[in-house]
Structure 1
Amino acid sequence: MTGATVLASALGFAPGTALALLTLAVGVLFVLGVPILLVFSTWVLGFAVLFPAFGLQNTSVAAYYQLWTFPLTAVPLFILVGALINQLQIARDIIGLSRSLAGWLPGSAANTALLTSGVFSAITGSNAATTASVGEAFTDELREEGYDPVFSAATIAAGGTLGIVIPPSVLFILYGVTFNLPVSDLFVAGTLPGLLMLIGLITTATVISYRNDYGTDEYAFDVREVLRSVLKARNSLLAIVVLLGGIFTGVFTPSESASIAILFVVTAEFLSGNIRGTAFLVESVRLTIYLVGIIIPVLVTSIMIQQSLSFLDLQDLLSNAILALDAPILIGSVLIVVMLLSGSVLASIPNMILVAPLLAPAAFALGISPLMWGVIFMISDAIGFITPPYGLNLYIISSITDIDYMRIAWGALPYFFVLTSILVLFFVFPELNVLAA
């Protein structure tokens, strides 16, 4: 391939061979556990050396222009909303509301944990934050009610998958920015699949709990108790209304909705007498800066890799190879398998930015719209959180419960099959998601 540098020639390698060796080297680094940012950065810099069209001086320019986009300002704001919710201990009111709604079902605490995950997801937009918060809140209660520890951990990990599908989702914001799709439309399109995922998880937990006699009959459905719980959790519920209502109605952009939600949460909690001092704000901002410092560099390097792969025409090569199967059922099966595999080995941002555009042409050929493709891919990415070897939610809950990672993975299999069924359903019948029209 033309354009290789003198360095590659001096080493006696053709450009293609040098690129293959570079890819192999970073693959080894990935397997050895080197942080993903360093792995991707190594590949980007190596590619820039091999191909002058992407010179080293262009990397800083590319990074600057990738960040020069208004919708990205929503990312730290949404993270800050979730951090404030945790720091102000609003979680206890959310748990009370979830218990009044789901505590009467077989598997009372398990279903309460799942419903709490759904509400948390509608505030934090993060799988990791949801898994960690719900795990800390419910691990002891599940143990006290006699649940199998592995089942309890697997249930909490599965509930965390809702964090990137139920709006507002940080990953939907990044996806919209990267692929030039309206973030508000992605939020709307993710609502129905997210709710169906929640219903599927609760149904699975209910069946397993009923068969194993898990849970307690201490709770009963009481409309008055539900109303009391709604009143106690009014600040968090109104925060969700502010966040999503402004976006869905088109009154606010995602960034504006998140800003207003921050102001609302702090003001409401202050007027309720729940704020004493500023320590909560300092800690929330510190956590937000930390997470943004992790997310944004990975986002930038992932986009650079995607641009490099486009330069090599890898997207066309892969899509043509898949479309050569010449049978919709085969093409669809390959796409689903590749999505599940990539989600199980790659972190969310690299997976979304690198794999989604590579598979997109084949998906579009099957009649899936760009908007619905984003939703479908996000569901597959969410499933990766409970699928080894990546399985971020499995790692999080394993560290909280001190249960072996692989034991939790086995325990999560029923949830994996249910979520995969939902993925296949929307892949085969994307028109079912009427909100994505």
Structure 2
Amino acid sequence: MSDVGLLLGVFSFLLLAGVSCANSMLLASLVSIWVTGFPVTMTADNMLGAINSFTLLAVPFFILAGVIMNRAGLTARLIDVSRAFVGHFHGGTAQVNVVASMFFSGISGSASADAAAIGSMLIPTMKREGYDPGFAAGVTASAATMGPIIPPSIVMVIYGSITNLSIGALFLAGILPGILIGVTLMLMVAYMSRRRGYPRAPRVGWTDRLRAIGAALPAVLAPVIILGGMFSGVATATEAGVIACVYGLFVGFFVYRDLRLADMPSLLADAVEMTAVPMYILATSSVFGFMLTAHGLGFMIGDFLSGITQDPLTFLLIIVALLTVVGIFLDGIAALLIVVPVFAPLVDVYHVDPLQFALIVIMTIMIGTVTPPVGMQLYIAAAIARIPIGRVVAWPFCWAMTGAVVILCFVPQLATFLPRLLLP
């Protein structure tokens, strides 16, 4: 068996045996290191080096900001604004779910935080209104994928740290594709809701809409402050995360007054727990990715693809197909950290814009977080809806989002227009 075959074989065996994705990567890497004679000390060096980064400090800060703003009442007010504008569409509360997720994506940067925050408020409401629990969970899980696509984005921070792409450029590149995902989900919700006869609310007048916007103005301003600080050059991504935390605390304590000092210990504990998972995955996947590179997987895949096509569009569609399969079996961040070092060098070979490629990779991998058996958002939404994951209606929304990814393959300007317009 080849070295790369041994590595992937052990990894696959451990996954099938029920070992977590992160531990499977670490154990498979240790077996490969022992068999091939690499120094075992490189494991600790790679794990520490992967997370010892100033750029990655943005990850815990954005997670903390999302937790603070959810506890501070910003999420509830964003839902009120969404309901005022789209509650009268077919499948009203499901449409509110999608739009509220778009708003909250501009605050948290995390799909899991989005699914938990929006889902805990809207899934019980949808069930009371007669929506099928599986449909409610599917909408929530799918809409949460916009969290890492619409800036700020924890996944984009990690992607930028791997490839040295500008995080600010990645943030700008994610705005239009993220909105496209939202539109495709809203169209699918409308189609399915009409067929299933789901309710919609009466149209709200502009007086009530303006009142809802006024009440939610501090929440709506949050992404403006976060992204404005970055794009104006005042703050880096890490510093923007700190600004988001401070702003959330200010709003929670002094504007909405939904936060108390007694809330801080549990709030910080939640943020630490949510940070530990992606950082551990990041550390273990760095070792796994190093071993894949050392065994020459990147060259093998490059030779394989070059033998199939020299066309950039065909290359991108093949990447989408491959990542769709990978996303079914791997956690989102783990998939990102494994495939990006392998595929990113091919961008220059096929003359693909790196921002377009980055968004295609991120969007496709996030769709994988809604598919069984390891889709994180799927488990969160199913737990809130109190149903087994087998009952979650996910695939129609996955196909809708995949359609958005295919559109991006054909229209790279969706990812490149804003960075070229706003960045020097």
TM-score by length of 1: 0.90
- 1:21: Cα distance to partner? 4.2
Distance 1:381 1:270, change over 3 A: same
Deviation per CA, 1:392-430: give whole Å up to 9, x if none.
22221111212231231xx22221221111111111331
Give the aligned partner of residue 45 of structure 1. Answer: 30
Whether the 8 Å contact between 2:328 and 2:372 is mirrored in structure 1 is yes
Aligned counterpart in structure 2 of residue 101 of structure 1, from 66, 82, 85: 85
CA distance in 2, matches of 1:144, 1:184: 41
CA distance in 2, matches of 1:398, 1:196: 25
CA distance in 1, matches of 2:197, 2:371: 27
CA distance in 2, matches of 1:273, 1:335: 46
Whether the 8 Å contact between 1:235 and 1:265 is mirrored in structure 2 is no
Deviation per CA, 1:123-150: give whole Å up to 9, x if none.
1111111112222111222122222332
CA distance in 2, matches of 1:191, 1:273: 28
Verify: 1:416 aligned to 2:393, yes or no: no
CA distance in 1, matches of 2:256, 2:411: 49
CA distance in 2, matches of 1:91, 1:256: 23
Whether the 8 Å contact between 2:327 and 2:368 is mirrored in structure 1 is yes
- 1:305: Cα distance to partner? 1.7
Distance 1:19 1:238, change over 3 A: closer
Give the aligned partner of residue 112 of structure 1. Answer: 96
Verify: 1:129 aligned to 2:113, yes or no: yes
Distance 1:231 1:338, change over 3 A: same
Alignment of 1:155-234 (within 5 A): 155-217=139-201, 219-234=202-217
CA distance in 2, matches of 1:248, 1:69: 21
Give the aligned partner of residue 431 of structure 1. Answer: 413
CA distance in 1, matches of 2:236, 2:404: 29
Alignment of 1:53-92 (within 5 A): 54-92=38-76
CA distance in 1, matches of 2:404, 2:23: 35
CA distance in 2, matches of 1:61, 1:238: 41
Verify: 1:368 aligned to 2:352, yes or no: yes
* Higher gyration radius (CA): 1
- 1:102: Cα distance to partner? 1.0
Aligned counterpart in structure 2 of residue 405 of structure 1, from 364, 389, 397: 389
Q: Amino acid of the residue matched to residue 42 of structure 1?
A: L
Deviation per CA, 1:159-192: give whole Å up to 9, x if none.
1111111111111111111111111111111111
Q: Amino acid of the residue matched to residue 422 of structure 1?
A: A
CA distance in 2, matches of 1:238, 1:332: 36
Number of residues paired by the alignment? 418
TM-score by length of 2: 0.93
Q: Which has the higher contact order (CA 8 A, sep 6+)?
A: 2
Distance 1:25 1:375, change over 3 A: same
CA distance in 2, matches of 1:271, 1:70: 31
Give the aligned partner of residue 303 of structure 1. Answer: 286
Q: Amino acid of the residue matched to residue 77 of structure 1?
A: F
Q: Amino acid of the residue matched to residue 304 of structure 2?
A: A
Whether the 8 Å contact between 2:72 and 2:259 is mirrored in structure 1 is no
Distance 1:332 1:270, change over 3 A: closer
CA distance in 1, matches of 2:414, 2:3: 47
Q: Amino acid of the residue matched to residue 429 of structure 1?
A: V
- 1:110: Cα distance to partner? 0.7
CA distance in 1, matches of 2:402, 2:304: 24
Whether the 8 Å contact between 2:23 and 2:284 is mirrored in structure 1 is no
CA distance in 2, matches of 1:93, 1:321: 51
**Does 423-432 or 18-27 show the bigger shift?**
18-27
- 1:288: Cα distance to partner? 1.5
CA distance in 2, matches of 1:333, 1:275: 47
Give the aligned partner of residue 304 of structure 2. Answer: 321
Distance 1:267 1:194, change over 3 A: same
Q: Amino acid of the residue matched to residue 415 of structure 1?
A: F
**Does 89-98 or 167-176 show the bigger shift?**
89-98
The gaps in structure 2 that reach 5 residues or longer are none
Give the aligned partner of residue 262 of structure 1. Answer: 245
Verify: 1:35 aligned to 2:17, yes or no: no
CA distance in 2, matches of 1:31, 1:58: 27
Which secondary structure state, in structure 2, belongs to the residue aligned with residue 417 of structure 1? helix
- 1:381: Cα distance to partner? 0.8
CA distance in 2, matches of 1:128, 1:400: 12
Q: Amino acid of the residue matched to residue 399 of structure 1?
A: A
Give the aligned partner of residue 278 of structure 1. Answer: 261
Verify: 1:341 aligned to 2:337, yes or no: no
Q: Amino acid of the residue matched to residue 120 of structure 1?
A: F
Distance 1:330 1:216, change over 3 A: closer
Give the aligned partner of residue 126 of structure 2. Answer: 142
Residue identity over aligned pairs, in percent, reads 28
Whether the 8 Å contact between 1:106 and 1:206 is mirrored in structure 2 is yes
